[in-house]
Structure 1
Amino acid sequence: MVCRFFSLSVTVLVCSLTTASAQNLFATANPSGGGPNTTRLLRFPTTNDRDIVLCYAGQLYTVGKDGGTARRLTSGPGYTSFSRFSPDGTQIAFSSEYDGNREVYVMPAEGGVPKRLTTSATLARDDVSDRMGPNNIVMAWENTKPLIVFRSRMRSFDDFVGSLFAVGLDAELPQQLPVPRSGFVSFSPDDSKMAFNRIFREFRTWKHYRGGMADDVWLYDFKTGATENLTSNPAQDICPMWGPDNKIYFISDRDNRMNLFVVDLATKETKQLTHFTDFDIKFPSMGKQSIVFEQAGHIWRYDLATGQATPVPIDIKEDFDSGRGGLVDAAKHIESVNLAPDGERTIVVARGDLFSVPAKNGTPRSLSKTSGAHERDAVWSPDGKWIAYNSDATGENELYVRSQDGKGEPQQITNGGDTYYYAPKWSPDSKKLLWSDRLQRLRYVDVASKAVTLVDQDKFGEIQSYNWSPDSQWITWARPEQNDMPRVYLYSLANKQQTAVTDSWYGSGEPVFSDDGKYLLLASARDFKPTFGDQEFANVYRDMQRVYLVTLAKETANPLAPKSDE
């Protein structure tokens, strides 16, 4: 066997967005017709009833409560968000990454040098795009003391669990609030009580959840230590805000969209205040006279006196540096590689584009040159002529095939993409492509006719391992089952029939045909050799899997059958 090392020194000119196109992307009109034709993707607002501070592209901006052109407040590295005005409206606390780690900072509301208030360990999961959410999130100020309350996972081994801590402007050690775990929080005017969520899951993508992790608004009395479930509803009741009128405002998806609600502490009467039907309200924050929130990429302001919610027209006017084109070393952003059948070249996916790279001599070829689309999962056909790959050039995932030498236009092989596609696999005769998707289907397509055939659609999970037989007439795959024991199946292209290879007693997977097509090899967990712990009398099973071989015809002898000289 010859091993070759490919030198992937590729530089690609990326012109994904011009300044004009970036502005068009971020300033499109609200599809629902409910927002102004101004800058979108505005997030995490806060207000002192005179100004609004918000996050855009990971930096803080300030603008008057009635809108206008926003002025940038921060310019540090990393992502800055979750700003909160102090009770007197003169300072803002926020979470930022000036020094590498996400920490709590404070600065004058009009702008100025930020002061770092916390120092904590770096966590493996600490990103605004992570479903667990970022760490050290500023939640609120206390009303009677200059203390900033933030949610942190500094003492938790579980990325899902965080606690509330208070830190002063002197940057002394934060003190944990007397509740074991929490999320959003707001304090009564005299700080004797707080309204809070026990669970923090606003960064997860679940919708209409009604299970045990759907949160309620709780009240905690600092004097007595008593807690009270204020809302007690199957829906999500989150982001409580203690109003100056002694009412608790919050958002809830009781009508299947996150809308603004209020509950009267005296009567316990709950009232819905907004009625959005297109997109959820996200991350509301309260001043003394109004509530600001994000909805459909815009910032809205709800006036407590009039009970009216209006969009705030906000424009961002700057150079949009992140939207400029430039030279990027694609070798530092490699997503996948796939070797040509003859070993002379390899197809590389880097920064969403396709490159054909020689083994030793020659120049790389940029095949796709589509800065506005993401190409991925590129695989070389067995005959060495074609490259198959996934692309979202149409706006949805579709399979494409193009010539390996870069000549001609790519051919779109599938249509009507309705979910995320996984990597395709060529049939050995280079005539078909087999792939699975997040709708738990396994399908193949005839490249010439573009006819798609459904092999299987599972009820219990995504199909992750699948392969072709050497003659391209059979497919094998591992199907997830209800008992969590995957089974291996065969599919005949001739009669469109499925055949189970393994039973439901043992988990089996990763099936592959032998080169001559006589055998099926698979992994299966069938070895039960328990060990026992020193402290607990409990069975522990390890190394359960082995590789097994199945003969595919009666006349095929078992190559591992017992041998005897007699």
Structure 2
Amino acid sequence: MTKSILTGLCLMLTFSALAQQDVYFTSSPALTPDGSEIVFSYDSDLWKVSSKGGTATRLTGMDGVEEFARVSPDGKWIAFSSNQYGNADIYLMPINGGEIKQLTFNSSDDRVETWSWDSKTIYFRSGRYNRLAAYTIDIQGRTPKHLFDHFFNWPHNLALHPDGRVFFNESWESSNQVHRKRYKGAFNPDIKTFNMHTGEYSELTDYEGKDLWSTIDKNGNIYFASDESNGQYNLYGFVNGKKTRLTNFKTSIKDPQVNANGGFVVFEKDYQVYLYDVAAKKSQKVNISIFQNNTLAQEQEFSTDRNISAFDVSQDEKKLAFVSRGELFVSDISGKFVKQLKTRAEERVVEVKWLKDNKTLLYTQTVGGYTNLFTIDAATGTGEKQLTNDLGADRNLELNADLTTGAYYSGRNEVRLIDLETLKSET
């Protein structure tokens, strides 16, 4: 079945710009050496913004996804990963934008990790040769070199200490299972080091949970994340050689990076960029604005065939509601007459249920990355109302047979009931 909807975007002949405030889904931030600017990934491209916040400048416009940017200690270069040609390779560009040079050409995925202190070598992880391992490549793009001759198991999250030690993790719990917080067991990741000059190996942490993402400034100050204090990843450092918690967030941080000269640590939290001031011992969100082109909507046909992710039949068995590609639709039971309902354009509908009146739809829709409950009048397509405002996903919505009560999960630890008459929820 097909439905004409407002999805295609045509640039207007006259350019005008709209600033999108309080941007979400910014990721993998990194600081310039003096900490004055942040390079981050958003909407598949790299952007740069003042550490004090403001309007970001787009640095790339490639066809792939550009992420994991790292700024060289001399402040001249940005190394990053991009899947421009399918798999992720390593690329290099000047700090203020300009010609982009591809450095690796392997069929495996290559992810930038860090720089050498002389700004001549890039360290990266790669799955080449059927094993995740650590490699280096110079900025001229010559043949990559394997970092460890003796093959540590799964080395990643690399950071370089000025004294020559390489810091790393080597557990899948700190690579492809970072979302699994509170894990405690034989595969818990610790902060490990190997001195490339002396061959000395050591483990700096022995917590049975997760210690990961080490990052080091030119003075040897070490920062990393751990879930030891409250089951969420917070920022830690070593104070007088002792592991010390620096933040106390109730939701996790991700991928902290200190600036080369020291003084600031940037990280991702709740899909936004935050900055920790070492001297002030305080963190704050970096308020970022993104200028986007003003566009004119144009009708475009697209098929929902085999693209329906959720559906429900009304109690009178006359109407169908369904979700396709994050959009909400209603139709007659045969699917002959289809209508799209207007929901939030920047968000995504996930689940849908009919209520007892055969007129109202109860559905989940993202709000800043988290699904919440909504209702809308299916007959008119108007009157959308948000029922919950949770910072944990409301999901797996199920209604009883007589459509008087519903149940759903909220966040990690709650099961809630919703009265389908009053639309009030309780844990």
Give TM-score scaled by structure 2 length. 0.73
Quote the Cα distance in structure 1 between the aligned partners of 2:399 and 2:153. Answer: 50
Provide the residue aligned with 2:20 in structure 1. 23
Residue 436 and residue 40 in structure 1: after superposition, are their counterparts in 2 closer, same or farther (change >3 A)? Answer: closer
CA contact (8 A) 1:43 1:299 kept: no
Quote the Cα distance in structure 1 between the aligned partners of 2:388 and 2:60. Answer: 45
Quote the Cα distance in structure 1 between the aligned partners of 2:361 and 2:178. Answer: 33
Provide the residue aligned with 1:101 in structure 2. 87
Residue 444 and residue 228 in structure 1: after superposition, are their counterparts in 2 closer, same or farther (change >3 A)? Answer: closer
Provide the residue aligned with 1:195 in structure 2. 167
2:174 is the alignment partner of 1:174? no
CA contact (8 A) 2:20 2:290 kept: no
Residue 379 and residue 450 in structure 1: after superposition, are their counterparts in 2 closer, same or farther (change >3 A)? Answer: closer
Quote the Cα distance in structure 1 between the aligned partners of 2:87 and 2:214. Answer: 28
Superimposed CA distance per residue, residues 450-476 of structure 1 (whole angstroms, 9 cap, x where no aligned partner): 89999xxxxxxxxxxxxxxxxxxxxxx
Q: Which secondary structure does the structure 1 equivalent of 2:60 belong to?
A: coil
Q: Which secondary structure does the structure 1 equivalent of 2:2 belong to?
A: coil
CA contact (8 A) 1:420 1:437 kept: yes
Opposite residue 20 of structure 2, the aligned amino acid is: Q
The structure 1 residue matched to 2:195, chosen from 217, 221, 234, is: 221
2:229 is the alignment partner of 1:255? yes
Quote the Cα distance in structure 2 between the aligned partners of 1:20 and 1:399. Answer: 31
Superimposed CA distance per residue, residues 15-66 of structure 1 (whole angstroms, 9 cap, x where no aligned partner): 9xxx99972443xxxxxxxxxxxx9946422322165342142322234556
Quote the Cα distance in structure 2 between the aligned partners of 1:279 and 1:204. Answer: 14
CA contact (8 A) 1:244 1:288 kept: yes
The structure 2 residue matched to 1:238, chosen from 209, 212, 216, is: 212
CA contact (8 A) 1:421 1:435 kept: no
> Unaligned stretches of 5+ in structure 2?
9-15
Q: Which secondary structure does the structure 1 equivalent of 2:84 belong to?
A: coil
2:69 is the alignment partner of 1:83? yes
Quote the Cα distance in structure 2 between the aligned partners of 1:327 and 1:207. Answer: 44
Quote the Cα distance in structure 2 between the aligned partners of 1:147 and 1:271. Answer: 30
Identity of aligned residues (%): 20
The structure 2 residue matched to 1:11, chosen from 4, 11, 23, is: 4
CA contact (8 A) 2:323 2:350 kept: yes
CA contact (8 A) 1:354 1:378 kept: no
2:56 is the alignment partner of 1:74? no
CA contact (8 A) 1:302 1:310 kept: yes
Residue 443 and residue 433 in structure 1: after superposition, are their counterparts in 2 closer, same or farther (change >3 A)? Answer: farther
CA contact (8 A) 2:33 2:75 kept: yes
Quote the Cα distance in structure 2 between the aligned partners of 1:195 and 1:447. Answer: 54
Residue 91 and residue 334 in structure 1: after superposition, are their counterparts in 2 closer, same or farther (change >3 A)? Answer: same
Quote the Cα distance in structure 1 between the aligned partners of 2:183 and 2:141. Answer: 39
**Higher deviation after alignment, 294-303 or 227-236:** 294-303
Opposite residue 12 of structure 1, the aligned amino acid is: I
Provide the residue aligned with 2:101 in structure 1. 115
Shift of 1:184: 0.9
Residue 245 and residue 78 in structure 1: after superposition, are their counterparts in 2 closer, same or farther (change >3 A)? Answer: same
Provide the residue aligned with 1:284 in structure 2. 256
**Structure with the higher strand share, 1 or 2:** 2
CA contact (8 A) 1:60 1:73 kept: yes
Provide the residue aligned with 1:36 in structure 2. none
Q: Which secondary structure does the structure 2 equivalent of 1:119 belong to?
A: coil
2:30 is the alignment partner of 1:45? yes
Residue 334 and residue 371 in structure 1: after superposition, are their counterparts in 2 closer, same or farther (change >3 A)? Answer: farther
2:279 is the alignment partner of 1:294? no
Opposite residue 9 of structure 1, the aligned amino acid is: T
Residue 14 and residue 148 in structure 1: after superposition, are their counterparts in 2 closer, same or farther (change >3 A)? Answer: same
Shift of 1:106: 0.7
Residue 10 and residue 166 in structure 1: after superposition, are their counterparts in 2 closer, same or farther (change >3 A)? Answer: same
Provide the residue aligned with 2:39 in structure 1. 54
Superimposed CA distance per residue, residues 269-312 of structure 1 (whole angstroms, 9 cap, x where no aligned partner): 22537334455443222312333312553442545xx4655658
Residue 69 and residue 203 in structure 1: after superposition, are their counterparts in 2 closer, same or farther (change >3 A)? Answer: farther
Provide the residue aligned with 1:369 in structure 2. 342
Quote the Cα distance in structure 1 between the aligned partners of 2:321 and 2:210. Answer: 47
Quote the Cα distance in structure 2 between the aligned partners of 1:452 and 1:309. Answer: 36
Shift of 1:379: 6.3
Residue 353 and residue 25 in structure 1: after superposition, are their counterparts in 2 closer, same or farther (change >3 A)? Answer: farther
Opposite residue 99 of structure 1, the aligned amino acid is: Y
Quote the Cα distance in structure 2 between the aligned partners of 1:210 and 1:308. Answer: 29
Q: Which secondary structure does the structure 1 equivalent of 2:194 belong to?
A: strand
2:255 is the alignment partner of 1:269? no
Residue 141 and residue 337 in structure 1: after superposition, are their counterparts in 2 closer, same or farther (change >3 A)? Answer: same
Quote the Cα distance in structure 1 between the aligned partners of 2:168 and 2:154. Answer: 10
Q: Which secondary structure does the structure 1 equivalent of 2:303 belong to?
A: helix
Superimposed CA distance per residue, residues 155-199 of structure 1 (whole angstroms, 9 cap, x where no aligned partner): 447xxxx321222234344333222312211123364x2111123
Quote the Cα distance in structure 2 between the aligned partners of 1:23 and 1:196. Answer: 37
Provide the residue aligned with 2:121 in structure 1. 147
Quote the Cα distance in structure 2 between the aligned partners of 1:380 and 1:249. Answer: 50
Aligned positions of 1:519-558 closer than 5 A? none
Give TM-score scaled by structure 1 length. 0.57
CA contact (8 A) 2:255 2:268 kept: no
CA contact (8 A) 1:10 1:331 kept: yes
